[in-house]
Amino acid sequence: MPDLQATLENIVPSGSMSASRRPTGPPMIVMQKVTKRYVPERAALEGVNIEIDAGEFVFIVGHSGSGKSTFIRSLLHEVIPTSGRIIVAGHDLSKIRTAKIPYLRRNIGCVFQDFKLLPNKTAFENVAFALQVIGKSKHVIDTQVPEVLRLVGLEGKINNYPHELSGGEQQRVSVARAFVNRPPLLLCDEPTGNLDPQTSFGIMKLLERINHTGTTVLIATHDQEMVNRMRRRVIALDEGHIIRDQNRGVYGHAN
Amino acid sequence: MPINTGYFIKEAATSFKRNWVMSIGGIVTIFLSLLLIGVSLLIGSAANSLITGTESKVTIEVYIKDDANQTDVEGLQRKLQTNSLVKQVNYISKDQAMQIFKEQMKKSPDVINNLEGNPLPASLKIELHDAHDVNKVVDSIKAAPEFKKVCDRPDSPDSSLHYGQDIVQRLFNFTRVIRVVGVVFIVMLAVVSLIFINNTIRMAIYARRNELSIMRLVGASNWFIRMPFIFEGMIQSIIGALLAIGVIMLIQFVALPKIQNTIKFMSFGISNSFIWLISLILIAGGIVIGGLGSWLAMRRYLKI
């Protein structure tokens, strides 16, 4: 219905969407009035409304305790909001059944500050593990794992154990593990928190490359320099409130 | 989801190696509780076959004095035959009694040779339909006037009556005690083995917490996460059950025949099909205990 399409474009001012946002298909993440209280008197998130489209590259910034981790973990359904509605990759988390949660998580890759690699498995085995436990065949594992390790730049080290790799390399393994199943959404919680600036930049470039494949990338960080350098959408949280949402933004100062 | 059984077995084996003290504890307690279940079933069955053996042998014998009036004896016999509780009454003459005695004592001819004349009394052998009626029939015999006339020892008529009521009663009591004690022990041991399995699985979950957190993150299904622990509990209990079955088999095929050889007069043979039934019960019991223990542990310690 071309008429409807035209009408919609008239109603929604095109200025509200940046060039980097591609408003095709449903949004990857929708939060409506999301509030989370671990204790009644203090909210970790309060009245958060946000929409993140498929294919975006977004930074979530804020101090410790600003609600970044709660934000990320609520998308994984590890934290269940006190009120409000969250939709991730088409799953309405307020209605999701426990048995369906694993399938939600197969659509979400996760990267953490502490890498979370298994020390007794090689880089290959660590990445393969993620496919093994969702029941992929050996054939799929043997083709996809070397491919994704090549993508993250570790083709020469696939048989090394984590303790034989540098911090940056370990984080690359963990990115490979998060991405090997080609999830439409990649969540990164302080991915460069343990790395020096040079290595961090390499990881950011890698995440950017993954973003170019169409994957939505969401990064919680307090790495100011990195955010300023990348010039991507920035959502700033302070005491559970969104205080700023800018396209091509900078880290800025909450206070 | 393709079920990767090899993966689960490998995981369970690794966990067993990591945690073998607890695992062996679990296996031993399951083994003991299942062995106890098996042994009490065996004893119950042996006692049952003893009882039925004895019951069919519960006959009342009335010893008759040598100079008894033949019409009185026949009168008593006829009277008893009309009693509905009595199956049949046989008259055994002195000569027949001697014949039977000689047959029984074939192996020691000295005893027979030393006999002077025939000391054995003639008797009436009364077989009953149901061993429980022994006392009623005995009372009716005592009440019969012919009995006093013909009985072997008129001075104390009761000692002319022989029947095996005490043995039966004692066996009944014995099996009842065995049953109660057995059930108490079995329940206690089952609880202990549940606790052991619960603990083993808890340790296994703790040892694998890193793997588990990654499995959850990458979206391993809940059953995939649980399966290795269920396997572990099952393997432990099946090993325990197999050990218990081994011991039961040893008892049935090695120990019991030897005991039976030394105590010939009692038959407590247990049919092989009953042994297979016990084995089946033990395997099933082991799987129930193992499955339940793992399940309880996962409910408490494995957050999905």
The residue of B14, B217, B221, B226 whose CB has the most chain A CBs within 10 angstroms, and thus the best one to mutate to test that interface, is: B217
Residue A136 forms part of a structural domain: yes
B105/B141 same-domain check: yes
Residue B217 and residue A76: Cβ atoms within 8 Å?
yes
- A-chain residues near B215 (CB < 8 A): 133
A123/A97 same-domain check: no
Residue A230 forms part of a structural domain: yes
B39/B184 same-domain check: yes
DSSP state, A99?
Answer: G
Last residue in a domain, options A182, A203, A225:
A182
Last residue in a domain, options B147, B163, B179:
B163
Gap from A109 CA to chain B (nearest CA, Å): 7
B295/B216 same-domain check: yes
Q: Residues B88-93: contacts with CB within 8 Å, 24+ apart? A: B88/B126, B88/B127, B89/B124, B89/B125, B89/B126, B89/B127, B90/B124, B90/B125, B90/B127, B91/B122, B91/B123, B91/B124, B91/B125, B92/B122, B92/B123, B92/B124, B92/B125, B93/B122
A84/A56 same-domain check: yes
B21/B70 same-domain check: no
Amino acid at B55: E
- B-chain residues near A106 (CB < 8 A): 218-219
B139/B225 same-domain check: no
A56/A101 same-domain check: yes
The CATH number assigned to the domain holding B127 equals 3.30.70.3040
Q: Based on the structure, what is the number of domains in chain B?
A: 2
- A-chain residues near B218 (CB < 8 A): 105-106, 110, 129-130, 133-134, 177, 181
**Residue numbers of the domain that contains B133:** 59-163
Last residue in a domain, options A149, A165, A182:
A182
**Residue numbers of the domain that contains A44:** 24-107+184-249
> From CA B299, how far away is CA B304, in angstroms rounded?
9
Burial of A192 (0-12, 13-18, 19+ CB in 10 A): buried
How would you classify the pairing of strands B122-128 and A185-189? unpaired
The CATH number assigned to the domain holding A209 equals 3.40.50.300
The answer to whether B172 and B51 have CB atoms below 8 angstroms apart is: yes
| Helix (H/G/I), strand (E/B), else coil: A17 | coil
Gap from A30 CA to chain B (nearest CA, Å): 21
A47/A83 same-domain check: yes
Residue A177 and residue B220: Cβ atoms within 8 Å?
no
Partner-chain residue, chosen from B3, B213, B218, that has the shortest CB–CB distance to A134: B218
pTM of the predicted model, to two decimals? Answer: 0.66
Nearest CA in chain A to B221: A102
B145/B211 same-domain check: no
> From CA B8, how far away is CA A88, in angstroms rounded?
31
What residues are paired with B162 via a beta bridge? B61
Residue A9 forms part of a structural domain: no
pLDDT values of chain A reduced to their tens digit, one per residue, 255 residues: 444 444 444 444 433 444 444 556 789 999 999 999 999 888 899 999 999 999 999 999 988 888 898 999 999 998 999 999 999 988 999 999 988 899 999 999 999 989 999 988 899 999 999 998 888 888 999 999 999 999 999 989 999 999 999 999 999 999 999 999 999 999 999 999 888 888 999 999 999 999 999 999 999 998 888 888 888 999 999 999 999 898 887 777 544
Per the structure block, which two tokens stand in for A48? Answer: 């958060």
Tokens 């996962």 belong to residue: B298
Q: Based on the structure, what is the number of domains in chain A?
A: 2
Last residue in a domain, options B134, B163, B192:
B163
B178/B200 same-domain check: yes
